[in-house]
């Protein structure tokens, strides 16, 4: 299966499915946060969520068990698999595939504390030993 970047809406649905492990559209809808918009509905419509889930199913990211006309959906990839994919995309597209450039960016931009930097160094040393 070839992973592709998800839209914000698709990723939001996947996050809910990863949390629930499996669920019907009504279960997914119940887990979605209330919108902070004042000019529209608080949550997406049932049909909107249903459409997004079916798109994810067509992309091979979601499977289902049919109970008559109702479907219970479940993720076919783990959150860790998608996180790894996203990280690789970030490194390739913005940091020329260089972990050094990625870490340097976060050190500069996120004001990494000495404690956090030390923890990263310890993790790297531990990985190097293995």
Predicted TM-score of the model (pTM): 0.77
Average pLDDT over residues 111-127: 81
- Domains, the chain, in order of start with CATH, read 8-75 (1.10.10.10), 95-130 (no CATH)
Tokens of 107: 């050190």
Indicate the pLDDT class of residue 123, thresholds 50, 70 and 90: confident
Do you know the residue count of the chain? Answer: 130
Task: For residue range 18-64, list pLDDT tens digits in order.
Answer: 999 999 999 999 999 876 656 666 788 999 999 999 999 999 999 99
CA-derived radius of gyration, the chain: 19
Tokens of 14: 């996947």
């Amino acid at each position: 299966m070839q992973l592709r970047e998800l839209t914000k809406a698709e990723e939001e649905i996947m996050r809910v499915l990863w949390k629930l492990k499996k669920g019907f559209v009504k279960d997914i809808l119940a887990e979605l946060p209330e919108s902070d918009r004042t000019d529209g509905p608080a949550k997406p419509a049932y049909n909107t969520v249903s459409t997004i889930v079916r798109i994810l199913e067509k992309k091979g990211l979601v499977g289902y068990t049919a109970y008559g006309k109702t479907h219970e959906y479940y993720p076919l990839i783990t959150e860790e698999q998608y996180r790894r994919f996203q990280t690789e995309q970030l490194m390739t597209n913005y940091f020329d595939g260089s972990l050094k450039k990625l870490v340097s960016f976060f050190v500069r931009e996120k004001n990494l504390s000495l404690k956090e930097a030390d923890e990263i160094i310890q993790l790297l040393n531990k990985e190097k030993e293995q």
